[in-house]
Structure 1
Amino acid sequence: MPASLPIDPKPLDHLALRGEGSAPALALRNQTLSYNDLRERVSRLAGWLQQQVPEPGARVASWAAKGELTCILPLAAARAGLVHVPINPLLKRAQVAYILADCGASLLVATAARLTTLVPGDIPVRCIVKNELEVIEDYKSILALKPSERDPGELAAILYTSGSTGRPKGVMLSHANMWLGAESVASYLELTPADVTLAVLPLSFDYGQNQLLSTWFAGACVAPLDYLTPRDVIKAVERHGATTLAAVPPLWVQLAELDWPGETANRLRRLTNSGGALTVDLVRLLRDQFKEARIFAMYGLTEAFRSTFLDPALIDTHPTSMGKAIPHAEILVIGDDGQLAADGEEGELVHCGPLVAQGYWQDAERTAERYKPAPEASVYGGMAVWSGDRVRRGVEGLLYFVGRRDAMIKTAGNRISPQEIEDAALGTGLVAEAVALGLPDERLGQAIHLVVRGASGASDRQEELARKLMIELPNFMQPKKIHWRETMPLSPNGKIDRAALSAELQA
């Protein structure tokens, strides 16, 4: 860790030690755990995990909705010397089987209903499978483990994120990455022990997991929520007295359009956004609806957690800005010549410093593409994340997003590999060629459009294709529209011309 850091990172499980013992730490559906409760349960679950998987560094996967176990596992696994792999509960068996095999999971904890969807071959050999409810019953009688003294540089978690091509990539996060990320966010959001964070984002998402970690760093309380409709969020804000809410733009659009009771809306003191840019109109709607709240616009990438935030005082005058670097992050704009870009000039966003993750799990080739030595101008040096995102810095020092270099689809806060959708379509046997595109959408940021050329004898079987994709892909990967073509446009080098298809569909 660089010597200039203002704090020394600690083992991740020490977050359970931050709050006042009797203060609320975790507001579950049927009970609220104090920090004393949190400490005991982290200790006992860590003991249970160590009994099940004694090998240091083994991967422990969780595939369940938000609740007692999924919230406590990140700290308990860290205390037990294991690596937590949270799997998005919206994923289906094909994606889950890939992640379990790729990370070499030694233990999978999941809900019974999800386990029934798996088939022989989905679970790695020697991987223990446990029902979530059985674990909750068993671990509380286990001898507790004391707080760990682990090297903060050790691997603590692997978060899977889609790549621009191919299968999901496992981003490796150390204790220090996650501890410093929690401290950074708690600091610039100015969280206090009096705050209550309503956690609506998936805990498998770095932005979602940080809802837990930054709140506990501040000694405050987390209220996890798996909502069915946006109105459930209103009810939960009122029920828990939430002061802090993090979301992605499509959810903010839905929440801003609802009729909130004034007293409930005014409970919220800070709104945080990432996973897509806020529009000028949406900022205005949020301002009108949540009059007591400060709005934090943020930019991040799983490979380095979070990069920038915009001071809420500037949201009205600079609504399209990404802001400046968060604490512990160094953000450089590098031109095509490899040098710092001048103010107003476009360049690549390069993230340096201790929030940079350790690379992709067992994937040296893709790690080398994204993780490269920091530019000469970097204060931190070492390895940096070259994001592929094009940005420019204004004369006032604020950053502005220009565009993405890769073909990633970003819809409703999810980063999706087009190839995952294309592979699923080809796997149905109904199409010979498939191209997935992200086209501008007012509510989603980008909507998924799938262009296909039918296989022999399977032309225009749209309903059957849609039905099979519903089985194979999670809801957030479903195409908004499927377009059938007799032929695909080709580029001069003989490849399918994606740019031509995108232009045609947007015409």
Structure 2
Amino acid sequence: MGNSTLLPELISCTADRAPHSTAITYGKDSLSYESLQQQVTALASGLLSLGLQRGERVAIYLEKRFETVIASFAAPSAGGVFVPLNPLLKAEQVSYILRDCNVRTLITSPERLSALQGVLSDCHDLRHVVLTHADCALPEIPGIHACHWNSLLEVPYKRGHRVIDTDMLGILYTSGSTGKPKGVVLSHRNMVAGAKSVASYLENNSNDTLLAALPLSFDAGFSQLTTAFHSGARVVLLNYLLPRDVLKAIENEKVTGLTAVPPLYIQLTQLNWPATVTEHLRYFANTGGRMPRETLDALRRHLPKTKPYLMYGLTEAFRSTYLPPSEVDKRPDSIGKAIPNAEILVLREDGTPCSPHEPGELVHRGALVGMGYWNDKEKTEERYKPLPVHAPGREAGLMLQEIAVFSGDTVRMDEEGFLYFIGRRDEMMKTSGYRVSPTEVEEILYATKMVGECVAFGVDDDRLGQAIQVIATPIDGVAIDVEALMAECRQRMPAYMIPAGIDIRHGPLPRNPNGKIDRKTLSTEWCEKQPR
């Protein structure tokens, strides 16, 4: 394990000490650490030849493949900022992100670029498009220079812009309560500290093989890369269609570490596990929501020798807590304690610490606290705030303020310091591991021009964590064709955002005192009417 301070050094340090070790596997092909380092350096030079300036954004709109990994490390190696885009996003959502963070360079495939043709004219800062396929014809896009990936790899070496560990490294977009995605800004320090922390408690080493089943646009998905590269381990990239594909990959690649969201684990428990899977899988870990007790028990029956790690994290602070495997039998509902190099506080509204078992807000302090939300001062000030004067770790003689992440999640802490999740304080929905804004769903429904009013909310679901439910009213009394509306949703939304159900009501929806549609009341009424 190297003494990395910048993200690209996670690769270069391992390449120096173990150049021929396998870094990543995709399909039947693999790249050694030496080869990966060479391609990262080459692409960084290519990006610099396009005029990439320090801090400029490079968006990556690809499924998991070698180029996705190389580009994610090459952009910061050149001194730029990488912006990973979820491959499930539709054109309008991609366009919003490209515009929001003023992306100058987009790396994508010809097929994905074709789907974006109708929105690129709105992306006024976009100057370059890099296509991954060498044999494709370069499109002519007004005001945008298109080039092939391979042509950038052939550019003579150029030294990247000087950066330090507190410089901006990447922007990870997550749904926001305003309906538009929020860009969480992370520094080199955040990512590297996170890699070292996670690797330490998962006990990762150069003998590990980690399965990258989560999207690399997720903090936990990208963490599979950073943790592995810090440890000198191998990462297997997997774009799976069926849960059975995950089991096959674990078996065929002799995977030792799996991190996934609860909905995938639920599906996996319903399959027959080959005995060879259990021979190599050293641990499994959850992210993106609480692991249902039944699912945890079923996994442990399938994997009696595999260590379970129950985790909790925020994109705004990468990872916050974990429950050691030795504590799972004793307290399976706990989210554990703070990860290494972080402190988790449970505070009252006045900033004072809560007593044992008293509900309060989870506050994260330490090296993993991000740099705020891109281009959103108001939301940044809501979530990233100075540590209160009464909080542990805040001494009166300190003149500079320390910024911590106030999660918006309510938790309690027992007498031994173990944390228990109670609920989310905002209206965000968490489904299939994704954070989804109800307003974002509603805006898309309104865009169909098939509804008069609508409201979206999350309801508890054993498989998804939360399922998205919608209540809508017709326009001027004209009946809503629910099947046609659902078809529009499938056309306009990523799969994880599509409502599980749409109920039709007549007349205006109830309002709260501020004149807004009363989401909470509607959600409560809907749940009370469901059969128990």
* Fold in common (TM above 0.5): yes
Counterpart of 1:233 in structure 2 is 246
Shift of 1:492: 4.5
Give 3-state SS (helix, strand or coil) of 1:266's partner.
helix
On the 8 A contact 1:170/1:361 being kept in 2, the answer is: yes
Following superposition of structure 1 onto structure 2, how do residues 217-228 of structure 1 map, counting pairs within 5 Å?
217-228=230-241
The letter for the 2-side match of 1:274 is T
The letter for the 2-side match of 1:369 is E
Residue 90 of structure 2: which of 92, 99, 103 is its match? Answer: 92
On the 8 A contact 1:79/1:145 being kept in 2, the answer is: no
Residue 59 of structure 2: which of 58, 61, 71 is its match? Answer: 61
Counterpart of 1:483 in structure 2 is 503
Cα distance change of structure 1 residues 137 and 17 upon mapping to structure 2, 3 Å threshold: same
Supply the distance in 2 between the matched residues of 1:370 and 1:484 (Cα, whole angstroms). 35
Counterpart of 1:188 in structure 2 is 201
Counterpart of 1:33 in structure 2 is 31
Shift of 1:50: 1.1
TM-score (norm 2): 0.91
Supply the distance in 1 between the matched residues of 2:19 and 2:48 (Cα, whole angstroms). 25
Over residues 420-469 of structure 1, what are the superposed CA-to-partner deviations in whole Å (9 max), with x where a residue is unaligned?
00001111111111101100111001000111111125322212211212
On the 8 A contact 1:9/1:180 being kept in 2, the answer is: no
Shift of 1:11: 1.4
Worse-matched range after superposition: 413-422 or 467-476: 467-476
Counterpart of 2:46 in structure 1 is 48
Residue 335 of structure 1: which of 348, 355, 363 is its match? Answer: 348
Q: Which structure 1 residue ranges, 5 or more long, are not aligned?
A: 1-6
Cα distance change of structure 1 residues 50 and 313 upon mapping to structure 2, 3 Å threshold: same
Supply the distance in 2 between the matched residues of 1:373 and 1:333 (Cα, whole angstroms). 15
Shift of 1:136: 4.0
Supply the distance in 1 between the matched residues of 2:510 and 2:36 (Cα, whole angstroms). 58
Counterpart of 1:72 in structure 2 is 70
Shift of 1:250: 0.4
Supply the distance in 2 between the matched residues of 1:317 and 1:53 (Cα, whole angstroms). 56
Over residues 143-193 of structure 1, what are the superposed CA-to-partner deviations in whole Å (9 max), with x where a residue is unaligned?
345687621111110000111223111111111111101111111100000
Counterpart of 2:216 in structure 1 is 203
The letter for the 1-side match of 2:31 is L
Worse-matched range after superposition: 477-486 or 488-497: 488-497
On the 8 A contact 1:18/1:219 being kept in 2, the answer is: no
Give 3-state SS (helix, strand or coil) of 1:464's partner.
helix
Supply the distance in 1 between the matched residues of 2:3 and 2:150 (Cα, whole angstroms). 36
Worse-matched range after superposition: 19-28 or 192-201: 19-28
Supply the distance in 2 between the matched residues of 1:317 and 1:261 (Cα, whole angstroms). 29
- In the alignment, structure 1 residue 12 sits paired with structure 2 residue 7: yes
On the 8 A contact 2:262/2:287 being kept in 1, the answer is: yes
Counterpart of 1:504 in structure 2 is 525
Counterpart of 1:474 in structure 2 is 494
- In the alignment, structure 1 residue 355 sits paired with structure 2 residue 368: yes
Over residues 326-382 of structure 1, what are the superposed CA-to-partner deviations in whole Å (9 max), with x where a residue is unaligned?
112111000123200011111000111111100011111111111110123242761
Counterpart of 2:377 in structure 1 is 364
- In the alignment, structure 1 residue 424 sits paired with structure 2 residue 457: no
On the 8 A contact 1:59/1:82 being kept in 2, the answer is: yes
Following superposition of structure 1 onto structure 2, how do residues 49-448 of structure 1 map, counting pairs within 5 Å?
49-123=47-121, 124-125=123-124, 126-134=126-134, 135-145=148-158, 150-376=163-389, 377-379=391-393, 382-448=402-468
Worse-matched range after superposition: 106-115 or 48-57: 48-57
On the 8 A contact 2:49/2:155 being kept in 1, the answer is: no
Give 3-state SS (helix, strand or coil) of 1:74's partner.
helix
The letter for the 1-side match of 2:393 is V
Counterpart of 1:3 in structure 2 is none
Cα distance change of structure 1 residues 232 and 136 upon mapping to structure 2, 3 Å threshold: farther
Supply the distance in 2 between the matched residues of 1:491 and 1:372 (Cα, whole angstroms). 29
Worse-matched range after superposition: 67-76 or 127-136: 127-136
Supply the distance in 2 between the matched residues of 1:54 and 1:337 (Cα, whole angstroms). 45
Give 3-state SS (helix, strand or coil) of 2:335's partner.
strand
On the 8 A contact 2:53/2:161 being kept in 1, the answer is: no
Worse-matched range after superposition: 330-339 or 82-91: 330-339
The letter for the 2-side match of 1:197 is L
Cα distance change of structure 1 residues 240 and 136 upon mapping to structure 2, 3 Å threshold: farther
Over residues 18-41 of structure 1, what are the superposed CA-to-partner deviations in whole Å (9 max), with x where a residue is unaligned?
321111111122311111111111
Shift of 1:227: 0.3
Supply the distance in 2 between the matched residues of 1:144 and 1:109 (Cα, whole angstroms). 20
On the 8 A contact 1:56/1:81 being kept in 2, the answer is: yes
On the 8 A contact 1:83/1:158 being kept in 2, the answer is: yes
The letter for the 1-side match of 2:458 is G
Cα distance change of structure 1 residues 40 and 147 upon mapping to structure 2, 3 Å threshold: farther
Give 3-state SS (helix, strand or coil) of 1:139's partner.
helix
TM-score (norm 1): 0.96
Cα distance change of structure 1 residues 269 and 295 upon mapping to structure 2, 3 Å threshold: same
Over residues 106-136 of structure 1, what are the superposed CA-to-partner deviations in whole Å (9 max), with x where a residue is unaligned?
0111122111112444352243122222344
Over residues 213-272 of structure 1, what are the superposed CA-to-partner deviations in whole Å (9 max), with x where a residue is unaligned?
011000111111010101111111122111001100000011122101111233110101
Worse-matched range after superposition: 491-500 or 32-41: 491-500
Counterpart of 1:4 in structure 2 is none
Supply the distance in 2 between the matched residues of 1:239 and 1:144 (Cα, whole angstroms). 38
Supply the distance in 1 between the matched residues of 2:116 and 2:361 (Cα, whole angstroms). 41
Shift of 1:281: 1.3
Worse-matched range after superposition: 179-188 or 464-473: 464-473
The letter for the 2-side match of 1:127 is R
On the 8 A contact 1:248/1:413 being kept in 2, the answer is: yes
Counterpart of 2:137 in structure 1 is none
On the 8 A contact 1:431/1:458 being kept in 2, the answer is: no
Count of matched residue positions in the alignment of Structure 1 and Structure 2: 501
